[in-house]
Structure 1
Amino acid sequence: MTVKIVRYEHEGDAAWGVVHGRRIAPLPGRYASTADFIEQGLDEAWSSRPEQASLPLDGVVLLSPVTGGQQFVCQGINYASHVRESGMDPARIGFNTLFTKAPSSLTSARADIARPPHVRLLDYEVELGLVMRRPLKEAASIGPDQLHEWLAGVTIVNDISARDVQLPQTQFYKGKSYRGFGPTGPFLVLLSPDEWKRWPELRMQLSVNGRARQDAFCGDMIFRPHQTLTELSNLHDLGPGDLIATGTPAGCAARAPGKLVLWVMKHLLSEQAKWKLFIKKGLVNPAYLQPGDLIQATIATEDGAIDLGEQLNRVVAA
């Protein structure tokens, strides 16, 4: 049975707890980071009982369950549907696109998202977040049945993106790393070995102002968690509490233009003119986020046995 971990603020103090229904059982340990919680508090969390739940969930301020000192690694174009809407052929995606996002972009599942004054094409991306359980400091071959050995749990990530920075400047890090561009949580959901096998059944849904935008199952990933962990193990060290966002499905505001327009942009326009046209078309696209918009994101299995909770983030002008 899953264990829902929450990091919260109550009476001025940050603490960790286990969610039972709509109440929290505070954990006795004080953990400065997600790494500290995973290294020292997992046994406490797994042994938590409903009768220990003394705080109402609605009576606390939610914080991101992934703290700012952790690495924030991301996968791009990892769902065939998103590859197509980006104007590419999934059959030609022969490599796993990996990049990092600033840990300072992490924020809570209820925080406002401030759109910087110079950003006009603000986009959303609901993603399944994987949180590391143990250090990964050398090359390893990780099988699909070994996820529970390496991963502590899962969480919701919304990879907020400034497309008019990310794409014209070809800077994923810069376009996705503004403060507050990484709503995470509300929960870090710990899974048993058998529950880890159900990750493909998780359904990701995102709506804006009550209108559905994204809806897909995590099983549609191109590069799966065990493959990504194996590849990352050959690149750099990962530690407990580090976060991997595994990509987003179709439904983003940013879409590739038609084939004729793409041909014209590629063969007849300069780079400067091409991106000027991209921004001009984006400004009349109502799908991009505006101040006042409310984003709702959920991830859960259809039977509700694994439920990562709900994000509710409002866009505001910075």
Structure 2
Amino acid sequence: MSLTIIRYAEGGTPRWGVQFGRLIAPLQVDAPSTGELLSDHWELLWATEATQAVVPLERVQLLPPVTRHQQFICQGVNYRSHIAESGLRIEDFPFNTIFTKAPSSITAADAPVVRPAHVQLLDYEIELGLVLRAPVPAGTQVGPDDLPQWLAGVTIVNDLSARDVQLPQGQFYKGKSYRGFGPVGPALVLLTPQEWARWPELHMRLAVNGQTRQDAYCVEMIHDPAATLTELAALHDLLPGDLIATGTPAGCAARAPGKPAMFVARHLLSDAGKWRMFIRKGRANPAYLRPGDHINASIRTDDGAIDLGEQTTSITAP
């Protein structure tokens, strides 16, 4: 059975705990980072029992379960539905698209997020987050049955994105790394080997102001966790506590323009003119996030056996 790990503050001091229902079992550990918690206290986490849960969840301040000491790695165009709504063709993306977000963008699942004053096209992207359990040696070949060896658990990620920075400037890192643009949590859910086999059944839902925008299952991923771990291990070091956001399905605010607009942009406008048109049309799109908007995001199996909780994010003005 999965184990729900949370990081929280009580009296201003960050702490780790295991959540059982609406109660927390505090962990008496010194672990400044997620990686240290998982590397040094793995057995303690699993040995924690519900009878040790004495702290009401309502009494504490929620903190992100992935600390800012970790790498924040992301996959792009990893869902067929998202590729289609972006006006792209899947055959043009036979490769796994990898980029990073600044770890300083990580924030709590219920923390308000400030939309920078110069950003008009703020978008949302619900994603399944994978958290590393162990270092992955260079050249490791990871199979589907090997996930429990390398991965500790899963969490919810909202890859907030300033489309008017990311796309016209070709700056994924810049457009996605403003402070607060990475709500993570509310929990890090550790999975058993049997539960890891169920990751395709995880059901992602995101709503803005009560209106459902994204609704999909993780089985729709193009490049699955095992393939991604194998590819990343060939590139660079992966360490305990590192976070991999695995891409988003259809339903984002950013959509491909219609065919007439695409024709005009491709054949009659300069690059600068094309992006001016994109931003102008985007400002009239009510799906982009504005101050006062509220986002609810959840990931769970339909039978509730694996439940990552719910994010509740409010967008605010500077």
Measured against the shorter chain, the TM-score band is: over 0.9
Question: Is 1:18–1:24's contact at 8 Å kept on the other side of the alignment?
Answer: yes
Aligned twin of 1:160: 160
Aligned twin of 1:36: 36
Amino acid at match of 1:29: V
Q: How does 1:1-318 map to 2 (within 5 A)?
A: 1-318=1-318
Secondary structure of the residue that 2:19 maps to in structure 1? strand
Secondary structure of the residue that 2:168 maps to in structure 1? coil
Amino acid at match of 1:144: P
Secondary structure of the residue that 1:168 maps to in structure 2? helix
For the residues of structure 1 that align with 2:245 and 2:127, how far apart are their CA atoms? 6
For the residues of structure 2 that align with 1:140 and 1:14, how far apart are their CA atoms? 34
The unaligned stretches of length 5 or more in structure 1 are none
Which range moved further: 92-101 or 213-222?
92-101
For the residues of structure 2 that align with 1:97 and 1:221, how far apart are their CA atoms? 12
Question: Is 1:109–1:312's contact at 8 Å kept on the other side of the alignment?
Answer: yes
Amino acid at match of 2:268: L
Q: CA deviation at 1:91?
A: 3.3
**TM norm structure 2:** 0.99
Q: Please give the root-mean-square deviation of Cα atoms over the aligned residues, in Å.
A: 0.6
Amino acid at match of 2:145: D
Amino acid at match of 1:282: G
Secondary structure of the residue that 1:167 maps to in structure 2? helix
Amino acid at match of 2:310: E
Amino acid at match of 1:97: T
Amino acid at match of 1:6: I
Question: Is 1:137–1:236's contact at 8 Å kept on the other side of the alignment?
Answer: no
Amino acid at match of 1:50: A
For the residues of structure 2 that align with 1:137 and 1:277, how far apart are their CA atoms? 46
For the residues of structure 1 that align with 2:123 and 2:287, how far apart are their CA atoms? 8
Amino acid at match of 1:49: E
Percent of aligned pairs with the same amino acid: 61
Secondary structure of the residue that 1:70 maps to in structure 2? coil
Question: Is 1:62–1:110's contact at 8 Å kept on the other side of the alignment?
Answer: yes
Task: Note the alpha carbon deviations across 1:250-276, whole angstroms, 9 max, x for none.
Answer: 000000111221121011100110000
**TM norm structure 1:** 0.99
For the residues of structure 2 that align with 1:231 and 1:48, how far apart are their CA atoms? 35
Instruction: Point out 4+ residue stretches in structure 1 off by more than 6 angstroms.
Output: none
Task: Note the alpha carbon deviations across 1:213-258, whole angstroms, 9 max, x for none.
Answer: 0000000000000000000011110100000000000000000111
Secondary structure of the residue that 2:169 maps to in structure 1? coil
Amino acid at match of 2:185: G
Q: CA deviation at 1:93?
A: 1.9
For the residues of structure 2 that align with 1:93 and 1:272, how far apart are their CA atoms? 25
For the residues of structure 1 that align with 2:29 and 2:289, how far apart are their CA atoms? 39
Task: Note the alpha carbon deviations across 1:153-185, whole angstroms, 9 max, x for none.
Answer: 000000000000000000000000000000000
